[in-house]
Amino acid sequence: MSSTDSGYSATDIITYIGVPLAVLGVLPILYNTIATLAALSKIKRMLRHGRLTALTRSDVVNRVIEVELPRYAVTPCDRFAETELYWKLARQPSSIPGGSWTTFNWQARAIGAKTQRVEYADQLRQPQVDVAFDQLVAYLLDLGALPEAHGWKLLRSTGLWTPTGCSLMKSPDGYHDALTIAPLDDSDGHLSLKAKWSSDWTTRDFSSLPPYWIRLPPPPIIEPTVTETIEPVEPAEGSSTSADEPHVDDVEKGLEQKEKSSLRKQSLDSVQKQAEKNDRATITCQISVDGLISAMSQEEGAIFSSADVQSLYIEHLRVRASKNDGVWFASIATAYGTTSQTVLWNYKIPDEILNFARRDTVPCGVLAVLDVVDDSQTPEWATSYDAAEEERELFIRRSNERHEAFVSESRMQPAQRDAAVRDRMHREINQRMQDTRDRQRREYQRRETRMSEALQSPKWDTKLVSQHNLRWLRERKEPSTVGVNIGASLAVRDIVGMLLHRMVLDGEFASSICKILDLWKAWAENGGMRRSDLEALRDKQELFALASLLVALVRDTVTAHEGTLSLDLQECLRIWKTVRLG
**pLDDT averaged per 10 residues, the chain (length 582):** 56 67 67 75 79 77 81 90 89 86 92 85 86 93 91 92 94 93 85 93 86 85 47 45 50 62 58 66 88 82 56 90 91 84 76 91 93 90 75 81 80 81 82 83 85 91 93 84 77 91 93 95 91 92 94 79 72 91 90
Q: Which pLDDT score is estimated for 107?
A: 93
CA distance 351 to 213: 22
CA–CA distances in Å: residue 295 to residues 281, 410, 494: 12, 89, 19
Ordered DSSP codes for 307-365: TT-EE---GGGS--SS-SHHHHHHHHHHHHHHTSSS---SSPPPHHHHHHHHSEEEEHH
CA distance 499 to 541: 16
Q: Which pLDDT score is estimated for 461?
A: 92
For residue 229, tell me if it sits in a domain. no
Q: Are 336 and 553 in contact (CB under 8 A)?
A: yes
CA distance 285 to 505: 12
- What range does the domain containing 442 cover? 387-455
For residue 428, tell me if it sits in a domain. yes
For residue 460, tell me if it sits in a domain. no
Ordered DSSP codes for 47-90: HHHTT---EEEEETTTTEEEEEEEEEEEEEPPTTTSHHHHHSBP
For residue 413, tell me if it sits in a domain. yes
CA distance 424 to 409: 10
CA distance 513 to 500: 11
CA distance 85 to 97: 23
φ/ψ region of 561 (left if φ > 0, alpha if ψ in -120 to 50, else beta) reads alpha
Q: Are 488 and 474 in contact (CB under 8 A)?
A: yes
Please, what sign has the CA dihedral across residues 105, 110, 114, 119? positive
What DSSP designation does 165 have?
T
Pairing of strands 192-195, 578-581: parallel
pTM: 0.74
Q: Quick check: helix, strand or coil at residue 106?
A: strand
For residue 82, tell me if it sits in a domain. no
Q: Which pLDDT score is estimated for 340?
A: 57
Nearest to 186 by CA among 68, 92, 66, 97: 97
For residue 422, tell me if it sits in a domain. yes
For residue 201, tell me if it sits in a domain. no
CA distance 193 to 172: 19
Q: How many CB atoms lie within 10 A of CB 276?
A: 10
Give the count of domains, the chain.
Answer: 1
Q: Are 130 and 143 in contact (CB under 8 A)?
A: no
3-state SS, 365-416, equals: HHHHHCCCCCHHHCCCCCCCCCHHHHHHHHHHHHHHHHHHHHHHHHCCCHHH
Q: Which helix (H) or strand (E) segment is 194 a member of? A: strand 192-195
For residue 412, tell me if it sits in a domain. yes
